[in-house]
A and B are shown apart, each in its own frame.
Chain A
Amino acid sequence: MKISVNVNGRNVDADVEPRKLLVDFIRDDLHLTGTHVGCDTSSCGACTVLLDGVAVKSCTMFAVQANNRNITTIEGLSKGDELHRLQSAFIEEGGLQCGYCTPGMIMTSAWLLSNNAAPTEEEIRNGISGNLCRCTGYDSIIRSIQKASSDRRGGRK
């Protein structure tokens, strides 16, 4: 099936099998390998992207369902060399170890902050509970998100 999607600000026309998952379209056809696969039950969130600004697990959708919609992947979050404030905060607060869950975690966090500029710790814990991290115990991820939210409130970046 022919689809037309906007990915990270770029229009893409593609011919995809109806059964192809959105995550495989992103990774295998568009070669945007920052979006990861960590499970087969939509539990881990490593494949999270923004679809029209809303966080979705790209393993739960077919590529054809993204027709005429806007997708933002981790590669589209930074502006060239300049990191998104969440990306900087994850580095500064040690919000990652192996790095595998990180892109999905950051995309979910971006969506969380777009809905709630100053979430409490509990709101962050609930907000990222669709994303699993096996390395950090989440404390440093929560600090990273808090830092990114206070950076914005403080008017930086």
Chain B
Amino acid sequence: MEATERFVRGKGRYVGDIELPGTLHLAIIRSKYARARLLRVEGGISGRDLSAVIPDVGEGARGESWKIKQPVFATGQVNYLGQPVAAVYADNKYLAEDLMDSVDVSYEPMQPVLDEQEAMTAEPIHPGLNSNVATDQFIGKDFEEKDAEVVLDDAFKIGRIATDPIETRGILVNYDGSRLNVWVSTQAMFSIRNGLCATLGLPITSVRVMQADTGGAFGSKSAMYPEYAIAAFVSMKTRRPVKWLESRKEHLTASRPGRGVSGSMKLFAKRDGTVIGLKGEIIVNGGAYLDGLARFSPMFIGMQLTGPYAIRNGYIRAISVVTNTPPLGPYRGAGRPEAAFFRERMMDLLADELKLDPAEIRIKNATDQVFTNPFGMRIIGSRQFMTEAFDSLEYYKLAREPNGRRGVGISCFVLVPALMEGESCKLKVDNGRIKAWLGGNSHGQAHEVFVRKLIGSTLDVSTGVVDVQPGDTDMITSGVGVWGSRSAIVAGYATVLASQTLKEKVVKTKGLYTPEYLLAGNYEAEVLNEKFDDPSLNSFGANLVTVDVDELGEVTVEECRSYYDVGNALNREMVKGQIAGGMAQGISSVLYEGLIFSKDGTLLTDSIASAGVPPARELPHFVTGITEHPSSLPHGAKGVGEAPTIGVPPALVRAIEKATGVRIRNIPIHPEVLIGPKK
């Protein structure tokens, strides 16, 4: 049965739905404070029973974790609200929750450091550190400022956001006496396998990870987490299956949130609108423990600051700091939206300063040919795309309409997909059917659709003979994961290459290829392709948003339109579905969402509603425009998943600014700043 049919019938098999006899249910006792000395932990299992640290795996992993490692259980000191302190287990979740009261924890609260700017000068949160600054590097090259006729500076802040998939995290572990069998809701089964092995000191061969149906992720489900190690530890200790399902309240502090960045920008330009350089400083709130993604994030944001524009000079200080907040993770876009927000805000400021049209100033700074930016990133010519985009979005028509308290905003960006480490595909022909396994599998993107299509077209067989299998680390040698707008590109390419390998094998045995020879035989091919270095895989996008803002500061989004180059769309409806869903997240990241802590570190947004996940009545109808300029790969794919969370926020913020006359520097926007007559 197709995945979509299973889902509408209620026959999905998410991790919470998998039942094994004798399963124990795990409950986690978590820190009540953002920062405190941990004086006593009595009862349950805790750091005395399991002393281990979380390795750097998953999206953005850099191999080695930072010098301060995240423990599975806090000992000595707790460093963020929700940090695991102890765990209990029982035959069902009600009894496990009852048992939580049997664990006695005493704390001595300390003043937390919550904000990235505050962290720069605050006393170090971790004993033994001299400073909260974890990484501090300059990228690009310093440059002379004397040619500039216009110099503009401004400072911005993007708050933390929870990823909030409707299915929270969850894991089921069954230790069978020799191996750990793991079912998990994840974007990256190999990261979870490697993470469990590293945390618990197990050989790779002793862990099998099977990806359950995964109910969304948006970045938070690729990392290794303490609860996974605890579940495995308890299963090994009790020789029983152990299940842990995250509550929503837990999700809001125990799963890695995204964003949390300050940026100050200085833009140098000529009076004709040509931008000649950009200087600035990026400070990323890495949370209490920094993995590779958190440490690389300020550089990743920095190198994308020129976006689709031919800005020749750039010099950026890129800083990551530790704070008493949950460890930073990726959230849809993961650095790309931050860079676009800072840059597009400055382009709008320049347009206002020079009294030029925002579209005109963007086209003026576009390129006609391949351009290498001051940070080494290559993009292809963007001018033609931008010209088409503003027409297609009907910008000129909408901008001319009388505005009152209405406003129109546009944005442009280049989506840099995460292609590093490639992806794998294994195909096996048997009994007239083709089984396919991927190294990274769907959590809502319907990989099976493009896999079947690419196998069908490459091998000239009906898509009906292809069975796409669930993710299973025992069934394929290696793999990476699903994030960074990568799957259509890397998993698609791996699928094409594996199909071509099958073809070659048929030719070798039969002298020529026919689909009949293929399906009559037994063939197998597995491919991990790793090398991607082609600026045609970066794709351009533009958004247009119109809003109406009333005097109470209530923003109504009227139009939200995209014009994205998606390469060869492997399935147009699914591409458009990705865009609409991403545009919703782009809007809510500006207007509704946010993780807000009080000064003492208490989470004020502790439900999915207060954290701002919007219902249908708060969102507009989306216009999902695409254009298809194929990439250089045989299947022509480019990325799309993150485009809307990159492009929508700056366009929306500009529209609000035009409607209200209030310069917007911080997102999410608190409505009180918009109250009152137009300025």
Within 8 A of A (CB), among B152-198: 164-168
A134/B94 in contact, CB under 8 A: no
Known contacts A33-B16, A126-B617; A102 and B8 CB within 8 A of each other: yes
- Asked if B621 lies at the interface with its beta carbon under 8 angstroms from chain A, I say yes
Residue total for B at the interface (Cβ-Cβ under 8 A): 58
Q: Is the CB of B8 within 8 A of A134?
A: no
CB B309 to nearest CB in A, in angstroms, measures 29
A38 to B613, CA, bound (A): 12
Chain A interface, >50% SS class: loop
Q: Is the CB of A99 within 8 A of B4?
A: yes
Q: Please tell me if A19 contacts chain B, counting CB pairs below 8 Å.
A: yes
CB distance from B153 to the nearest CB of A (A): 35
A52 within 8 A of B: no
Chain B residues whose CB sits within 8 angstroms of the CB of A101 once the complex forms: 166, 215
- What 1/0 mask marks residues of chain B from 85 to 105 whose CB sits below 8 Å from any chain A CB? 000000011100000000000
The answer to whether A91 and B4 touch across the interface, beta carbons within 8 angstroms, is: yes
Q: For the complex, is A135 an interface residue (Cβ under 8 Å from B)? A: yes
- A97–B444 contact, CB under 8 A? yes
Residue among A83, A137, A138 with most chain B CB within 10 A? A137
Q: How far is the CB of B345 from chain A (nearest CB, A)?
A: 24
Point out the residue from B6, B247, B580, B616 that lies within 8 Å of A124, measured CB to CB. B616
A115-141 interface code vs B (CB 8 A; 1 in, 0 out):
000000100111011111111111111
Measured in the bound complex, the distance between the Cα atoms of B12 and A43 in whole Å is: 22
In the complex, which residues 47-99 of chain A have their Cβ closer than 8 Å to any Cβ of chain B? 73-75, 78, 83, 87, 90-91, 94, 96-99
Chain B nearest CB: distance from A95 CB in Å? 8
Q: Are B9 and A34 touching (Cβ within 8 A)?
A: yes
- Residues of A in contact (CB 8 Å), total 57
Kindly state whether residue A37 has any CB partner on chain B within 8 Å: yes
Contact A74 B10 (CB under 8 A): yes
Q: Which residue of B lies closest to A98 (CB)?
A: B444
Chain A residues closer than 8 Å to B245, beta-carbon distance: 37
Are B616 and A96 closer than 8 Å at their CB atoms? Answer: no
Q: Which of chain A's residues has its CB closest to B614's CB?
A: A132
Chain B residues closer than 8 Å to A140, beta-carbon distance: 577, 580
Q: Please give the distance in Å from A9's CB to the nearest CB on chain B.
A: 15
The docked-state distance in angstroms from the alpha carbon of A91 to that of B166 is: 19
Q: Tell me which of A91, A102, A129 has the highest count of chain B C-beta atoms within 10 A of its own C-beta.
A: A102
Q: How far is the CB of A79 from chain B (nearest CB, A)?
A: 12
Q: Does B583 contact A (CB under 8 A)?
A: yes
Indicate if A149 sits at the interface (CB-CB under 8 A): no
- The interface residues of chain A lying within 8 Å CB-to-CB of B613 are 44, 132, 134
The 8 A CB mask of B202-230 against A (1 = contact, 0 = none) is 00000000000111101000000000000
* A-B residue pair count with CB separations less than 8 angstroms: 172
Contact with A along B1-23 (1 / 0, CB 8 A): 01111111111101011010000
Q: Give chain B nearest CB distance to A30 CB in angstroms.
A: 12
Decide yes or no whether A153 CB sits under 8 A from chain B.
no
Q: Which residue of A lies closest to B19 (CB)?
A: A31
- Asked whether A36 lies within 8 Å of B14 as measured between CB atoms, the reply is yes
- Given A96-B8, A135-B216, are A41 and B248 neighbors across the interface (CB < 8 Å)? yes
CA distance A138 to B588 in the complex (A): 13
| Beta-carbon contact of B167 and A36 below 8 Å | yes
Is A32 in the interface zone, CB < 8 Å from B?
Answer: yes
Q: Is the CB of A128 within 8 A of B10?
A: no
Q: Are B8 and A87 in contact (CB under 8 A)?
A: yes
> CB within 8 A of B580: which of A40, A130, A136?
A136
Q: Which of B39-78 contact A (CB under 8 A)?
A: none
CA distance A149 to B352 in the complex (A): 48
Nearest residue, chain A, Cβ from B8:
A87
Centre residue among B164, B615, B616 by max chain A CB count within 10 A: B616
Instruction: List the B side residues contacting A41 at CB < 8 Å.
Output: 248, 607-609
The answer for the CA separation of A35 and B14 in the assembled complex, in Å, is 11
Please name all residues of chain B whose beta carbon is closer than 8 Å to the beta carbon of A128 when the two chains form the complex: 615-616
B580 adjacent to A98 (CB under 8 Å): no
Q: Check A5 for interface membership: any CB of B closer than 8 A.
A: no
Known contacts being A135-B444, A139-B580, is A129 close to B615, with CB within 8 Å? yes
Interface residue from B218, B577, B578, B608 paired with A132 (Cβ < 8 Å): B608
Asked whether B3 lies within 8 Å of A99 as measured between CB atoms, the reply is: yes
Task: Answer whether residue A17 sits at the interface, using C-beta atoms and an 8 A cutoff.
Answer: yes
Q: Is the CB of A129 within 8 A of B166?
A: no
Question: Does A129 contact B218, Cβ atoms closer than 8 Å?
Answer: no
Chain B 584-625 per-residue mask, 1 if CB under 8 angstroms from chain A, else 0 = 110000000000000000000001110001111111011000
A83 CA / B11 CA spacing, docked (Å): 13
- Residue A142 at the chain B interface, CB threshold 8 Å: yes
CB pair B616 A100 closer than 8 Å:
no
Closest Cβ of chain A: how far from B407's Cβ, in Å? 21
Closest-by-CB residue of A relative to B18 is A33
A33-B9 contact, Cβ under 8 Å, with A38-B167, A43-B609, A136-B581: no
B-side contacts of A17, CB under 8 Å: 94
* Chain A residues within an 8 Å CB radius of B617: 125-126, 129
Given A31-B19, A98-B166, A132-B166, is A138 in contact with B619 using a C-beta cutoff of 8 Å?
yes
Which A-chain residue is minimally distant from B571 (CB atoms)? A94
CB of B249 closer than 8 Å to a CB of A: yes
Q: Is A7 an interface residue, CB under 8 A from the partner? A: no
A94 adjacent to B607 (CB under 8 Å): no
A46 at interface, CB cutoff 8 A: yes
Residue in contact with B7 in the complex, picked from A35, A102, A133, CB distance below 8 Å: A102
Q: For residue A49, give the distance in angstroms from its CB to the closest CB of chain B.
A: 10
B574 within 8 A of A: yes
Task: Specify which of B249, B574, B577, B613 lies most central, judged by the most chain A CB atoms within 10 Å of its CB.
Answer: B577
A106 at the B interface (CB under 8 A): yes
Is A39's CB within 8 Å of the partner chain B? yes
Asked whether B581 lies within 8 Å of A43 as measured between CB atoms, the reply is: no
Q: How far is the CB of A97 from chain B (nearest CB, A)?
A: 4
Please, which residues of chain B bring their CB within 8 A of the CB of A32? 10
| B573 CB–A CB distance under 8 Å | yes
Which residues does chain B contribute within 8 Å of A131, judged by CB atoms? Answer: 615
Contacts of A91 in B (CB 8 A): 2, 4-5, 8
CA of A129 to CA of B615, assembled, Å:
5
Who on chain B is nearest to A88 by CB? B8
Give B613's nearest chain A residue, CB to CB: A132
**Contact indicator A134/B165 (Cβ below 8 Å):** yes
| The residue from B5, B444, B619 contacting A137, defined by CB atoms under 8 A apart | B619
Expressed in whole angstroms, the Cα–Cα distance for A39 and B578 within the complex equals 23
Are B14's CB and A100's CB within 8 A? yes
Q: A44-B608, A137-B580, A137-B584 are in contact. Are A38 and B168 (CB under 8 A)?
A: yes
Would B581 and A37 count as touching, CB distance under 8 A?
no
Could you list which residues of chain A lie within 8 angstroms of chain B, going by C-beta atoms? 17, 19-20, 24, 27-28, 31-41, 43-44, 46, 73-75, 78, 83, 87, 90-91, 94, 96-103, 106, 121, 124-126, 128-142
Q: List 29 A-B contacts (CB under 8 A).
A: A27-B17, A33-B14, A38-B166, A38-B168, A39-B248, A41-B608, A41-B609, A44-B166, A44-B608, A75-B11, A87-B8, A91-B8, A98-B165, A98-B167, A98-B216, A98-B443, A103-B8, A103-B10, A131-B615, A132-B613, A133-B166, A134-B164, A134-B166, A135-B216, A135-B577, A135-B581, A136-B577, A138-B616, A138-B619
User: Which residues of B come within 8 Å of A, CB atoms?
Assistant: 2-12, 14, 16-17, 19, 92-94, 164-168, 213-216, 218, 245, 247-249, 443-446, 573-574, 577-578, 580-585, 607-609, 613-619, 621-622
